[in-house]
Amino acid sequence: MRQQSKQNRLIQEQLRSQLKRGEWATGAPLPPARELAKSHGVSSSTAYRILVRLAKDGLLWQHSNGRFYAAEARHLVDTIQPFACMLPRLQLWNVVLQEIMHGVTQRSAQYKRGILLIHNPALIVQDDINIPPTYADVAEQEHILREFFATHADSCEGIIFDNVWKDEVLAKFRDKLKRMVVINRKTSLDFVSAVFPNFQRCALLAFAHLYARGYEKIIFVSPHDDHYIEQAMEMGLNVAKLIGAQFDADDIRRPRTAEERHEFALELKRANRRVGVYCPDDNWSYRFYRDMQDVGVECPGRVGLLSGIGTPAVGGKHPMSTLKVDFEKMGELAVDCLRADEPRSERVDVTLNLGVTT
């Protein structure tokens, strides 16, 4: 410990000497903590603590992008940059996105940052609410991002993407993205932050609640193709294997059109066992509930229906049973991720709200 303390003091003295000579006074940032750690043979956390110590002593200044500068350089580089939000057009903003953006706005205000909203109608196209939406493909998403960088270049501190964006597209812009976070889904990219619901808890609560209510067979419903739904279905299979539930890929259903929903409702009516249905999408859960009522399915007597996110779509005088995701917290955490020194993943908690459908 004494050796480590001595080494830390030596690193501090070396940096103080470099700062005194004015090596970074022109506005160039100091090397990142991981580079300092590698060159001095210490951990990244130790190097970061040294930089923070020098900042507290007034020798360094930390930019909002996380980099450290000589204190004298602050007037050269301290410009307030907004957070960019790459989202669907306003007409498609559902309650979920409204709650997320409320959290983003609140947290951005705490950091004294503005928000640049980038709405592109090509991201999601849905002319009829009774059919699933269609999403921009890889080529279209690439085109949207190229236009964004051509227009805004380095004017934004970080970018928030929603769950419709594809990892393969974001990976192509790694060199142009300072900091970015995707919301409402996990990501496979190690340079990207992600904030998403606790999908494992969602699946565990769905199985536990429906089995506790006496439903003998469990069905998960995938109403449309996006990353949120895909990851919820994948976690359903993983949790089923973990707890030994009789549930496999055949128990994930995809009724998309009105006709397919009608056939699914009739199948539930003919079932010789009590069936518990979990659908992560509130709007489609409400439609399934109406479909079952139309064909005379006893809910919750013969069929139980559990929705997935807890918006007002499943509320009202006779609320449906639902899992409730704290989307406002998701927005706050998204901004925190943009301010963090390294990419990170944050899971948002989920609770169970009981209603008339189970």
HEC profile of 315-330: CCCCCCEEEEECHHHH
Please indicate, yes or no, whether residues 191 and 332 belong to a single structural domain of this protein.
yes
Residues 225 and 319 placed together within one structural domain of the fold: yes
CATH number (domain holding residue 42): 1.10.10.10
Q: In this structure, are 99 and 246 located in the same domain?
A: no
Do 111 and 209 have their domain in common? no
174 DSSP 8-state letter: T
Q: Which of 77, 99, 125 is the last residue of a domain?
A: 77
Q: Are residues 131 and 221 in the same domain?
A: no
Pick the closest to residue 87 from 75, 78, 96 (CA basis). Answer: 96
Whether residue 140 is found in the same domain as residue 25: no
Cα torsion for 229, 353, 333, 279, to the nearest 10°?
0
For residue 60, the cross-strand partners are 70
Indicate whether 219 belongs to any domain.
yes
The DSSP secondary-structure symbol of 90 reads: G
3-state secondary structure of 175: coil
Residue stretches of the chain with pLDDT short of 50: 1, 91-92
CB 247 within 8 A of CB 236: yes
pLDDT at 121: 75
**CB distance 179 to 157 below 8 Å:** yes
Shared domain for 191 and 231, answered yes or no, is: no
How far, in Å, CA of 65 to CA of 63, rounded? Answer: 5
Q: Does residue 187 lie in a domain region?
A: yes
Residues 291 and 145 in one domain: no
Cα separation, 146 vs 300, whole angstroms: 50
Q: For residues 332 and 322, state if they share a domain.
A: no
Q: Write down the pLDDT at residue 75.
A: 63
Q: Are 130 and 258 in contact (CB under 8 A)?
A: yes
354 occurs within a structural domain: no
How many alpha carbons lie under 13 Å from residue 63 in its C-beta half-sphere?
A: 24
N-terminal to C-terminal alpha carbon distance within the chain:
59
Burial class (CB in 10 A: 0-12, 13-18, 19+), 151: exposed
The answer as to whether 89 is a domain residue is yes
- The answer to the question of residue 183 being in a domain is yes
CATH code for the domain of 183 = 3.40.50.2300
Say if pTM beats, i.e. exceeds, 0.85: no
- Model pLDDT, residue 262: 94
Does residue 346 sit in helix, strand or coil?
strand
Last residue of a domain, one of 41, 57, 77: 77
Residue 130: its pLDDT value, please?
A: 65
- The Cα-based distances of 36 to 30, 42, 73, 296, 339 in angstroms read 9, 8, 20, 69, 20
Residues 320 and 341 in one domain: no
Q: Are the C-beta atoms of residues 292 and 221 closer than 8 Å to each other? A: no
What is the number of domains present in the chain? 3
The pair of three-digit structure tokens given for residue 335, joined into one six-digit string: 């901004």
Is the residue at 355 inside a domain?
Answer: no
> Which 3 state secondary structure label does DSSP give 307?
strand
Give the strand pairing for 217-221 and 275-279: parallel
- Is residue 356 assigned to a domain? no
Please count the CA atoms within 13 angstroms of the CA of 92 that sit on its side-chain side: 20
Whole-number pLDDT of residue 191: 92
Q: Write down which residue in 57, 77, 97 finishes a domain.
A: 77
What does the block give as tokens for 348?
């948002």
Domain range enclosing 133: 83-196+328-346
- Whether 147 maps to a domain, the answer reads yes
Please give the pLDDT value at position 123.
81
Are residue 63 and residue 209 in the same domain, yes or no? no
Considering the domain architecture, whether residues 24 and 98 belong to the same structural domain is answered as: no
